[in-house]
């Protein structure tokens, strides 16, 4: 009986610790927005970043990756957005995760085709640019998360093992956030 109680207490304590770590990680993820620029990987995918600065960052990043003048990329993005107004609730209205993912994928494909045509580059070059931007943003987000977690370890709020677990979960896409939209 004593072993059962210890086991239950241990599992319960572990679950509470994991909940606390996940809450801290969520806070850390939320605080990375300022560090990882305003355009998130999700914004790069949909070309609908929040606010004018996000749109400028996306255009600037795409221009750099594609080797094209930023004003041309801005014009191509603006043209796409005008021709394809985003249904703000379409993804949320989709009945399941697969339908939401299909909606995002279709929009991304349309964006890639539009940009390739407007900018006179191949679709594969545009896809590569988006993949590179997403990778850069994920690396920035992970670095900011690690910095937050390192501070929590240094202050005694987390153990190194807890930090490692959060970073592993983040790497597997289990924490969600801007970088993981599947």
The count of C-alpha atoms lying within 13 angstroms of the C-alpha of 108, restricted to the half-sphere facing its C-beta, is: 20
The count of C-alpha atoms lying within 13 angstroms of the C-alpha of 82, restricted to the half-sphere facing its C-beta, is: 6
Report CA 114 to chain centroid distance, whole Å: 23
Query: Is the pLDDT at 104 greater than 90, yes or no?
Result: no
Q: Any residues with CB less than 8 A from the CB of 52 and at least 6 apart, and which?
A: none
C-alpha distance from residue 122 to each of 76, 86, 125, 129, 153 (Å):
14, 24, 5, 11, 46
Query: Is the pLDDT at 160 greater than 90, yes or no?
Result: yes
50 falls within a domain: yes
- Structural domain boundaries, residue 87: 2-171
179 falls within a domain: no
Cβ atoms of 142 and 178 closer than 8 Å:
no
Query: Is the pLDDT at 44 greater than 60, yes or no?
Result: no
Query: How confident is the model over 41-70, as a mean pLDDT?
Result: 68
- Residue 88's pLDDT band (boundaries 50, 70, 90)? low
pLDDT of residue 144: 94
CA–CA gap between residue 101 and residue 45 (Å, rounded): 12
Q: Cα-flanking dihedrals φ and ψ of residue 179, to 5°? A: -85, -10
pLDDT of residue 96: 74
77 falls within a domain: yes
CA–CA gap between residue 112 and residue 135 (Å, rounded): 17
176 falls within a domain: no
Q: How many structural domains comprise the chain?
A: 1
Q: Any residues with CB less than 8 A from the CB of 75 and at least 6 apart, and which?
A: 118
pLDDT digits (tens, 9 = 90+) for 144-154: 999 999 999 99
């Amino acid at each position: 009986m004593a072993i059962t109680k210890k086991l239950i207490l241990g599992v319960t304590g572990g679950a509470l610790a994991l909940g606390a770590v996940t809450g801290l990680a969520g806070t850390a993820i939320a605080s990375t927005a300022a560090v990882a620029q305003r355009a998130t990987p999700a914004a790069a995918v949909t070309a609908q970043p929040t606010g004018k600065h996000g749109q400028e960052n996306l255009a600037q990043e795409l221009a750099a990756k594609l080797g094209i003048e930023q004003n041309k990329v801005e014009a191509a993005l603006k043209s796409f957005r005008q021709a394809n107004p985003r249904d703000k609730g379409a993804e949320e209205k989709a009945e399941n995760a697969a339908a939401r993912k299909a909606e995002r994928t279709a929009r991304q494909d349309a964006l890639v085709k539009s940009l390739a045509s407007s900018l006179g580059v191949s679709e594969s070059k545009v896809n590569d640019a988006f993949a590179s931007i997403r990778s850069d943003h994920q690396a920035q987000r992970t670095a900011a998360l690690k910095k937050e977690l390192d501070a929590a370890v240094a202050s005694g709020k987390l153990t190194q093992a807890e930090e490692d677990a959060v970073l592993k979960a983040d790497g597997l896409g289990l924490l969600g956030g801007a970088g993981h939209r599947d």
